Amino acid sequence: SKCTLLLACVLWLSHCLGLLCLHPPASHSLLQESQQSSADFRIYIENHTRNPDDLSRKQVRIYQLYSRTTGKHVQIMGKKINANGDDGGKYALLVVETETFGSHIRIKGKESEHYICMTEKGKIVGRPDGRKQECVFVEEFLENNYTALVSAKYKGWYLGFNRKGRPKKGPQTTQKQQEAHFMKRQPKGWVDPLEEFRFTTVTKRTRRARRLKSNAKRN
């Protein structure tokens, strides 16, 4: 989260200031230490964002993933995953957890409670424990309004399905392939809970208008 990144920056700057106070460097050595600190800082941030802590705020969304190839939806049926789910099907309802900086997500089936994961051979499988890095994907928003999901652990390997809805292996996928293009959709008949809590400000004028309308109906 942004708060975690800000805290990391503050801690690192405090560390650097403490070193400067203890050992005031000359101008040449100051430049060298500044360059080294910048490199160390980048590594620190990369490592920190790659392994998010449990205190980071998680965002949870519920939606379906429409496959451009099959015209159906991704569904998680336990260990087996395919793209043949019907609109509103119970196995096509996905719980998407945002875990860290950017668009790193974990995708879990609401019914099966299994996560979409990618093995070291690029095979797509469902697993009950989604905490490992192989179950993290990065959202890439494409110009054609579709979304591609690339493995956070295996760079360049995408979540993809062939025309029969079967998952493709990571090494056989690219971002440009239609098999790796998806669209987020709300399930059929799904009502966003936030839509049920819309408040209308009631003023003296609206109360008076309601009374007049009620009296007119009676007459």
The third-level CATH classification (topology) of the domain covering 59-188 is Trefoil (Acidic Fibroblast Growth Factor, subunit A) (2.80.10)
Mean pLDDT of 177-204: 68
Q: Give the number of other CB atoms < 10 A from CB of residue 53.
A: 9
Q: Confirm if 150 and 142 have CB atoms less than 8 A apart.
A: no
Strand, coil or helix: 34: helix
Domain extent listing, the chain? 2-50, 59-188
Q: Is the pTM higher than 0.75?
A: no
| Amino acid type, 155 | K
Strand, coil or helix: 72: coil
How confident is the model over 146-181, as pLDDT tens digits? Answer: 999 999 999 999 999 999 999 999 999 999 999 999
Sequence-separated (6 or more) residues with CB below 8 Å from residue 137: 104, 105, 106, 107, 116, 149, 150, 151, 152, 159
Question: What are the CA-CA distances from residue 57 to residues 104, 112, 114, 132, 151 (Å)?
Answer: 13, 24, 21, 18, 22
